[in-house]
């Protein structure tokens, strides 16, 4: 199963990047950084259909079966850059339904990072419900806590356990 790690943070060398580097070291997951693309806010009139979103999603939808989203926690939610990406998934149920249908049965998991452990279960809802809507399979979400911008050995063990769960995940 081919997996892609999709990173959405407002800084390239921050905490989410550190988690992503660890994930890359421990897996063969390919990586995509949303900061490398121009993806504008959802537009009901689809005047932005010429930006990077559709070519990008077209490529990854056909190339990968498992999507891992890595986001920092900004104001109790996913990052803005990640939310814009999720909003644009609406293009896949409007102007590119073929791509939306191609997501059916694919898997999704999420890893988040912040300097605290204060997230409620509702943090995962936009991901798990979006997966459900798109008929994808939501595997799990893992929140990681970085202290002084460092991944502790305890957090590393939790991240490795997340990797194992994701990689061994089988749809019943
Ligand atoms: C705009 C913004 C909002 C934030 N909101 C929260 C928050 O609601 N809860 C929290 O625990 N940390 C919050 N933080 C702290 C970040 O989650 C934390 O520093 C994270 O590890 C940063 O990851 P990054 O380096 O990939 O941006 C916020 C940081 C920023 C910049």
Give residue 2's pLDDT: 95
At residue 45, the 3 state secondary structure works out as coil
**CATH of the domain spanning 3-168:** 3.40.50.360
CA of 72 to the centre of ligand 1 (A): 6
pLDDT in tens, 94-104: 999 999 999 99
Alpha carbon of 158 to those of 68, 72, 93: distances in Å?
Answer: 16, 17, 35
Residues in Cβ contact with 12 at an 8 Å cutoff, skipping those fewer than 6 apart = 33, 35
Q: Examine the pLDDT at 39 and tell me if it is beyond 90.
A: yes
Q: Which two tokens stand for residue 137?
A: 């399979």
Q: Is 170 exposed, middle or buried (0-12, 13-18, 19+ CB in 10 A)?
A: exposed
Average pLDDT over every residue of 124-150: 96
Q: Is 118 in the pocket of ligand 1 (CB under 6 A)?
A: yes
pLDDT at 8: 98
Rounded distance from Cα 125 to ligand 1 centre (Å): 19
Mean pLDDT of the chain: 96
Annotated domain spans of the chain: 3-168
Give the global pTM: 0.97
Kindly give the distance from the C-alpha atom of residue 79 to the centroid of ligand 1, in angstroms, as a whole number: 8
Taking each helix axis from N to C terminus, what angle separates 80-88 and 53-63, rounded to the nearest 10 degrees?
Answer: 80
């Amino acid at each position: 199963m081919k997996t892609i790690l999709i990173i959405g943070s407002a800084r390239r060398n921050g905490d989410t990047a550190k988690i992503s580097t660890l994930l890359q070291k421990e897996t063969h997951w390919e990586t995509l950084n949303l900061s490398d693309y121009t993806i504008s806010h959802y537009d009901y009139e689809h005047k932005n259909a010429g930006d990077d979103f559709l070519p990008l999603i077209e490529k990854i939808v056909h190339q990968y079966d498992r999507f891992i989203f890595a986001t920092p926690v900004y104001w109790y939610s996913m990052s803005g850059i990640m939310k814009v990406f999720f909003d644009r998934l609406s293009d896949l149920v409007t102007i590119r339904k073929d791509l939306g249908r191609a997501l059916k049965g694919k898997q999704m998991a999420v890893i988040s990072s912040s300097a605290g452990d204060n997230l409620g279960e509702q943090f995962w809802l936009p991901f798990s419900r979006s997966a459900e809507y798109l008929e994808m399979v939501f595997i799990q979400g893992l929140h990681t806590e970085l202290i002084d911008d460092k991944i502790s050995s305890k957090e590393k063990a939790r991240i490795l356990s997340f990797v194992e769960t994701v990689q061994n995940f089988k749809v019943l």
